[in-house]
Amino acid sequence: MNLIFDIGNTSSKLAVFDGRNKITVFRTRDLSCDELENKLSPFIIEKAIISSVKTVPEYITDLLLVNIPYIHMLSHKSVLPFRNEYQTAETLGADRIAAVAGACLLFPGTDVLIIDAGTAITYDFVANNSYKGGNISPGLAIRFKALNRFTDKLPLINVAENFSSPGLNTNDAISAGVVTGVIYEINEYIRTFEESHADCKVVLTGGDSRFLKDKINHQPTYLPDIVVDGLNYILEYNAQ
């Protein structure tokens, strides 16, 4: 079986695959050795891939190296199942690489816009099994924190499901400005992408995607696990 270890900025996602069949997926914010061993104890893991947007904790790599015969650390040096046209491949985030691989696996030969709404919001474009590049924008949490940090009086608030717009108080004004601004941004990206690419696919993923998916006008395909799907694809591709 394959272990997929996706370490993000605010949480980690783990998945176990039997070939291309996904057995289990879970997310955690603070993964200990005991928890990791407990989660993986039912499975015989033969191969693993580690993808991280930050430094991988040493105890994680030590634990996996002891118990798993083949481990692949995803990097710009990995052999990828698509053509990468990014000019600075060494700076391309592992999560973006994995999402592109997932799009190539799930939608071969299709033009795909991948919107990953996490700590940052990334917009990545795939065509003809090639990665054409993408854009990076601040995510919801970053926008809330920026308003608080770079002003004297605006409070730090969290994402709210319900708020008045236009805002009738400061908290609602912030919520309306941030959330509505992100929705407008995503809607416009999708609109312009669909205008120039017939028969395209738009995918929404990332930690904030569940909150945003029903608020977007253009109804993208919601695939919360496209990154782990892509990582499993890359693992199998490199282990051949």
Position 238 pLDDT exceeds 80: yes
Position 13 pLDDT exceeds 90: no
- Enumerate domains of the chain plus CATH numbers: 2-139+178-239 (3.30.420.40)
**What pLDDT, in 10s, does the model give residues 107-144?**
999 999 999 999 999 999 999 999 999 999 999 999 99
Contact in structure between 6 and 12 (CB atoms under 8 Å): yes
- Which residues, in sequence order, are CB contacts of 32 under 8 Å at separation 6+? none
How many Cβ atoms sit within 10 Å of the Cβ of residue 7?
20
Position 97 pLDDT exceeds 80: yes
Position 168 scores a pLDDT of 95
More confident residue, 33 or 193: 193
Confidence class for position 10, pLDDT limits 50, 70, 90? confident
The reply to whether 208 belongs to the active site is no
Position 142 scores a pLDDT of 97
Confidence class for position 37, pLDDT limits 50, 70, 90? confident
Catalytic residue among 18, 34, 95, 152: 95
